[in-house]
């Protein structure tokens, strides 16, 4: 049996998804404002590509390069050969395109 498409149900699912998704731009801004602990706490439950990249970046900021490499590996990449500021900007731009 096929259920009819209910556009209001789809819209509600979209709202629910956004409520449980992470605002990567806000998270990057928290870190830039010096709230590393809060940014790290918020990223921990997430394991998508963007979350892994940001998690790796946060550990670069912390100076824990082994942990940073772990998270970049989970994003199927290596620690980038750029400055922290360049990486922040790269991630910010990626988050805007997400």
- pLDDT of 7 over the 50 cut: no
Q: What is the pTM of this model?
A: 0.79
- pLDDT of 15 over the 70 cut: no
Residue 71 and residue 59 in contact, taking contact as beta carbons nearer than 8 Å = yes
- pLDDT of 98 over the 90 cut: no
CA distance 79 to 98: 21
CA angle 72, 76, 81 (to 5 degrees): 50
CA distance 73 to 21: 22
- Six-digit token string for 76: 């199927």
Q: How far is CA 83 from CA 10, 14, 41, 52, 78, in A?
A: 42, 36, 23, 18, 14
Question: Residue 21's pLDDT is what?
Answer: 63
Instruction: For 40-53, write each residue's pLDDT tens digit.
Output: 999 999 999 999 99
Top-tier CATH class for 23-97:
mainly alpha
């Amino acid at each position: 049996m096929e259920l009819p498409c209910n556009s209001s149900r789809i819209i509600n699912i979209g709202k629910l998804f956004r409520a449980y998704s992470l605002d990567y731009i806000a998270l990057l801004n928290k870190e830039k404002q010096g709230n590393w602990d809060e940014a790290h706490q918020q990223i921990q439950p997430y394991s998508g590509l963007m979350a892994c990249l940001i998690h790796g970046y946060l550990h670069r900021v912390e100076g824990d390069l082994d942990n940073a490499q772990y998270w970049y590996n989970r994003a199927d990449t290596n620690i980038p050969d750029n400055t922290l500021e360049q990486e922040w900007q790269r991630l910010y731009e990626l988050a805007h395109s997400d």
